[in-house]
Structure 1
Amino acid sequence: MALRPLPETPYLVAQRRLRHVGKDCLVAFDVNLYSVPARKVRPRQLIEIRATKSQVALHSATSGSDGDTFLAVHPRAGGRDPRVVEEEHWDGLPTGAGRRTTTGDGPPRRDTAEAGPLQALLNRAAATRVEVGRCPLSVYDELTGTRPFSTNSHAKNAR
C-alpha cells in the first residue's frame, strides 16, 4: 500500500562506452564488431556506444553540421567475435579489387603453392620486387680505400 505503482514505460538501462572507429569502419564493443557508415566517419574517430539488452546504437562523439550525432543502430550480437555489418555502410571504402601494393611493374609473382609459408610471405612482400643494382665488391673496396684481409695502405700513409 505504501509503494507507488510502476510507471507505464519501463526504465531503459543502457551501457555507454567510448570507442574508436577502425579503418574498416567497424567499432568494437563487448568482443563484437559493429559497422558505422564510412561516409560519416573517419578512422580513429571517437564514437559513443549506447547498448541496451537488445540493441547497440552508435553515435558520433561530436555533432555534425546538422547537429545530429546518430550514426547507426544494430541488434546486439550474441556470442563472441561476430561482425554485425550493414553492407551499405561500406559504400565509399576501397573494395580491395585491383588495389596495388607497390608502384611500378615488377617481375611476375612466383607460385606460392609449392614454396611453403615462408616463401609465400616473401613473395607477397613489396621489397622482394624492388630492382637492385649489382656491382662487384671491388668497386666498394676502391670507394672506401680498403681491401679485404689486407691493411689499408692509404690510412697508414695518412698517419
Structure 2
Amino acid sequence: MSQSRDLQGGKAFGLRKAQQEEGLNEINKQFLNNPKYCSDEDLPSKLEAFKNKYMEFDLNGNGDIDIMSLKRMLEKLGVPKTHLELKKLIREVSSGSEETFSYSDFLRMMLGKRSAILRVILMYEEKNKEHQKPTGPPAKKAISELP
C-alpha cells in the first residue's frame, strides 16, 4: 500500500516539476522578448542555466524561493548565512515580499547591472566549477623546485 502511495507521490512531484518548468519557460520567453535584455546573444543559454539553478532550489515547486530554500542553497554552496543575512538577501532580490523571491526577481538580479550578494555567490560557484581538476599523476619535480 505504501509503495502505491509512493508511486502516486512521485508522479505528483514529477507533474509539479513539469508544470514549474513550463511556467519558468514562459517567464524566460518574456525576458527573451524584452528589449532591455534581448541584445545579449548568450541570453537563451543563460536563461536555461538560470532556470535549472532556480528549479534546483525551489524545492516545493511553488515558483518562489523561501528563506529555508535559500538557506539550503547557500549551505550547499559552502556559504552558510544567518537568518538575518538570509532575510537581507531576500529583500535585496525581491520586488515585493520579504519572505520569498520569484523567478522574475531572480532573473532581474542575475541579468541586471546591480551587484547583489546572491548574484556574486552564484557566479563564484559557476566559476569554481569551470576550473577542471588535473587528471593523472602530478608532474615529477626535483626537491629544489618544491615551494
What's the TM-score once normalised by structure 1's chain length? 0.22
Q: More helix by proportion, 1 or 2?
A: 2
Q: More strand by proportion, 1 or 2?
A: 1
What's the TM-score once normalised by structure 2's chain length? 0.23
